[in-house]
Amino acid sequence: MFSKKSPVRVLMWLVLACVGIGLLSWSGCGKGGSDKDVVLADVGDSHIMASEYKRRLAKQEEADLPKGDDGKPLDMSTLEGKKAFLHTLINKELMRLKAIQLGYMNDPKVAAAKQSLTDYNAGMVLWDDVVGTPSKTISEQELQDFYDKMGVTRHCHYLITNFKDDAEAARRMALDGADWDDVAAKYHDGDAPQGGEFVIDVPFGRYGTDFETPVFAVEVGGVTEPILTVYGYWILRVDSETTPKPGKKPDLEEAKAQILDTTYNRKIARIRNDFRKEIDKKYKLTINEDTLWKCYQGLPEGEVILDPETKKPVPKENLKPLDIKPADMDLPFYSYQVGDDVTAYTLGDYKVIFDRMSVFQRPKKSEMLGSLRNKIKQELEKALLNIEAKQRGLPDDPRVTTLVNEKMEEILVTKIYKDLVSYDERVTPEQLDAFWAEHEQDYVIPEKRSGHLVVCLNEDEANKARDAMAAGEPWKDILLKYGTDRNNKSKGGRLESIPSTVTGTVRDALFALDKGGISEPVAVGNGRFAVVSCDSIVPSRPGILKDLSQEVGQRIKKIREEEAFQKLLDQWTEEFGVTIYEENLADLPSWEELTNPPLPGKAVPRNT
């Protein structure tokens, strides 16, 4: 409902977009630029570089690009679009400089947020170095190896135990030739399977490699070593194997896309799990299994996430505490070691942690011992990742500092806007009347039309549908016989209250008709044609201030807010100084070029 002349749209986008693209780096915008970088603008002592412009523009969603007076995103290949985005970066840099000048970085909450963000992003960069980047390339051999086993299924007997010792004992009993039901009766800790048979099919490629690899490593008739999962320790006996029948397996080229996606995800999981094991070993992560069992026994019985009566998550005050005997509080539970320093936790320490958890965070007794073990390990490994990242110097890595600075700038932009932008929020009846007299046309309620639409396979079918409509055939029959668009058919082909302000060929056809009219076939893309009928017309009418007073009042306040904000930006521009090197904008790539690079000609290696 904004006027095209209103500054609200442009300047509010400036502030809201801070969340999407952040501001420029604390030590100056030129950091991290390439040798061919050029300066686009000087803001105080900082420089906005071409590399910074490109990096931030590439992060934008199309809807968040700078908009013109018509409310549509500007073409970012034009000088107008490039200048608009550069001015956004300039204004944010002005806000950053002012925030530093006002001492915002000395705020203890801001400092704590920066430390937290540093720890988190250092861990993320470590994860990408160790797991993400190595997973991106898939060799031809990996592709072929997966294809060779594609469609192979191993049929197994299984059991699950809470402890590794029990799993090893169950394996020995099975290898000695005992009946599997007898082995399971003695050692299986989970619920009995439906139907009573401890059998499972393991198709190649469906499960994680940590589970699948040991299953496919043994000969048919063999028994796996204990396999640790989130449920506990699995033991499987491979009873038989089936392979695809001739002609049932797709060609390699036909299956390549599916194999690449599956292999990529499996490779991530495998490298991730290998790294977790490496970290556990390096820092001597240990969990005392005897204490783990006591902890598991103390978990509340029958705890659920949603209250059966309210259907809402169980609130903290209604959760039962971990039931631990006082004599067991000092039992050693888990620990890790960094150099010569050992960090150890007792069962009492974990009880404090558990009792503070929300219902979503708490391990559940129904999930078996393995779930408790896994959740404790996950939390410990988060801490170890931060330690490993610090030991590798990643908190000072430019990739980390850039990410942290962007997030910190989001925090400060929001804070400086909230603290410094002030305006009169009172709107009097006289002010409403005066604004309405100038902008009444902005609130005209547009003409609306309703009718029906059928999207047909081609122009010939559309002509047949039009003839049927003109002959008065039932609409349901026409839609069923000629309709090809699932979404259109799901709505019964109805066009309901379409305003004149929308755009498109269907809209144009609808608004070219008189009431009761039927259009000629209209091209709607992909070789398809549509026929439109107009059933009703609701004329446009003027808006009524009494009904729109709240909306108009909010608009007045928004304009005042933006004017106050623009006044501050003008002051800061004069205070810090801004110089723009417009001649350097011409060679910058457009948003489309940055977000839609040419696809590689080959699927392998897969560089995602």
Report, as an integer, the average pLDDT of 431-457: 95
Look-up: residue for tokens 């400089």?
97
Q: What integer best gives the mean pLDDT of the chain?
A: 89
Helix, coil or strand: residue 303:
coil
Own/partner pairs, 11-14, CB within 8 angstroms, 24+ separation = 11/562, 11/565, 11/566, 12/558, 12/562, 13/64, 13/66, 13/67, 13/88, 14/88, 14/91, 14/92
Pick among 3.40.50.12780, 3.30.300.30, 3.10.50.40, 3.10.20.90: CATH of 448-538: 3.10.50.40
- 151-248 and 448-538, same CATH topology: yes
What does 400-461 look like in DSSP terms, one character per residue? HHHHHHHHHHHHHHHHHHHHH--------HHHHHHHHHHHGGGGPBPPEEEEEEEEESSHHH
pTM summary value: 0.63
Residue pLDDT, tens place only, 402-415: 889 888 888 888 88
Own/partner pairs, 416-423, CB within 8 angstroms, 24+ separation = 416/95, 416/98, 416/99, 416/102, 416/104, 417/15, 417/95, 417/565, 420/98, 420/568, 421/561, 421/564, 421/565, 421/568, 422/564, 423/557, 423/560, 423/561, 423/563, 423/564
| Radius of gyration, CA atoms only, the chain | 33
Taking the C-alpha atoms of residue 51 and residue 584, their distance in angstroms, rounded to an integer, is 12
Which H/E stretch holds residue 159? strand 153-161
Which amino acid does the sequence have at 575? E
What pLDDT score was predicted for residue 587? 92
Report, as an integer, the average pLDDT of 478-503: 93
Both tokens of 176, joined, read 């000695």
Residue pLDDT, tens place only, 350-403: 999 999 999 999 999 888 898 899 999 999 999 999 999 999 999 999 999 988
Share of the chain above pLDDT 90, in %: 72
Residue pLDDT, tens place only, 174-220: 999 999 999 999 999 978 888 888 999 999 988 888 999 999 999 99
What pLDDT score was predicted for residue 606? 54
Residue 426 pLDDT exceeds 70:
yes
- CA 82, chain centre distance (Å): 28
Q: Cα-flanking dihedrals φ and ψ of residue 512, to 5°?
A: -90, -5
Domain-wise residue ranges, the chain = 1-101+421-446+546-608, 151-248, 281-391, 448-538
Lowest mean pLDDT among 140-149, 166-175, 294-303, 560-569: 140-149
Architecture of domain 151-248: Roll (3.10)
Which amino acid does the sequence have at 384? L
